[in-house]
Amino acid sequence: MIQVQNLSKSFQDIKAVNDISFTIKKGEIFGLLGPNGAGKSTTLNMMSAILKSDEGHIHIDGNLINGHAKTCKHLIGVVPQEISLYEDLSAYKNLLFWGNLYGIPSKELKDRINKTLALIGLLDRKNDLIKTYSGGMKRRINIAAALLHHPKVLFMDEPTVGIDPQSRNHIFEVIETLNKQGMTIVYTTHYMEEVERLCNRIAIIDSGKIIAQGTQAELKELIPTKESIQFEFNLLSENDVNQLRGRLPYPLSQNKNKLLVECTVQELSKVITTCNELQLSVEDIQLNKVNLEAIFLSLTGKQLRD
């Protein structure tokens, strides 16, 4: 559905996007994960022809996008990072304005606005002025505005930054509903939990470059660290550890009263049962998960969130 090939963009001497390539299949939720300043918005802005690339090609549904705003307009729905609504107009009137920009016939438009407001859970607030809305509600109206013209793909640029948890969940549900209906979605964020929850495939971007891409399982293969669980005991002797070694099929390493077991959460109960049998009392348990944060750290030496 979307092909991005060798895309680059500089602002004066800043290389904001540096030779990135990826493809997105129809019906996927593709996550662009990276810290602030990584180049996420610049990439999305080129993909929606808001910005012209210096180099590279973008194809969406067979159309060459490269700066062709007219081609994009019908294909793409864009939810920008900055909220763009008229504060002194109602949600309904804001959406009328957006729909008219897309030339949707007025009778059809009214129906679409109501359906879209229902989808985002704000139909009952449609006549309230935007200035009475919370940040999260405004963001949901922005999403509605991007959907009125029935685009084939939806680009969302950090849609949950600075909003309340309830709106955040609403937005996730809307994304999942749209995706079930077949919508292809590109989602940028610096929150790894969000891509873990939503995305089929992920590209990790840092300093304008894609440093890894694939499914979550593929990304987890990239680093040598394995999932492990740390158990802390009141007292743990060498003899105890040897006994545990005899009974458990997982690699173990002892550090004083702490024991690191290379096993998964599913295997946790087996370890606890064995400890009980040996009358070793577990004081504390800590999961060391291999998540996208760990992958980012391993690949860049930096935390995702600074």
Ligand X SMILES: Nc1ncnc2c1ncn2[C@@H]1O[C@H](COP(=O)(O)OP(=O)(O)O)[C@@H](O)[C@H]1O
Tell me the closest approach of the beta carbon of residue 156 to ligand X, in angstroms: 12
CA distance 102 to 267: 55
The amino acid sitting at 209 is K
Which has the closest alpha carbon to 79: 48, 36, 121? 48
CA distances 271 to 251, 256, 282, Å, are 12, 18, 10
Residues 6 or more apart whose CB falls under 8 angstroms from that of 62 comprise none
Tokens for 139, please give them. Answer: 């963001």
Contacts with ligand X by CB under 6 A lie at 11, 14, 16, 34, 36-42
| 16 interacts with, out of Mg ion, ligand X, none, CB within 5 to 8 A per kind | ligand X
Q: For Mg ion, which stretch binds (CB under 5 A), given 40-48, 127-135, 206-214, 237-245? A: 40-48
Q: From its phi and psi, is residue 203 left (phi > 0), alpha (psi between -120 and 50) or beta?
A: beta
Q: Which of 185, 290 has the CB closer to ligand X?
A: 185
Using the Cα atoms of residue 271, residue 273, residue 276 and residue 281 in order, give the sign of their dihedral.
positive
Residue 45 makes contact with Mg ion by CB under 5 A = no
Q: Binding Mg ion by CB under 5 A: which of 41, 43, 45, 189?
A: 41
Tell me the closest approach of the beta carbon of residue 24 to ligand X, in angstroms: 18
Q: Which of 44, 295 has the CB closer to ligand X?
A: 44
| 39 interacts with, out of Mg ion, ligand X, none, CB within 5 to 8 A per kind | ligand X
Tell me the closest approach of the beta carbon of residue 38 to ligand X, in angstroms: 4
Q: Which of 34, 136 has the CB closer to ligand X?
A: 34
Interface with Mg ion (CB under 5 A) = 40-41
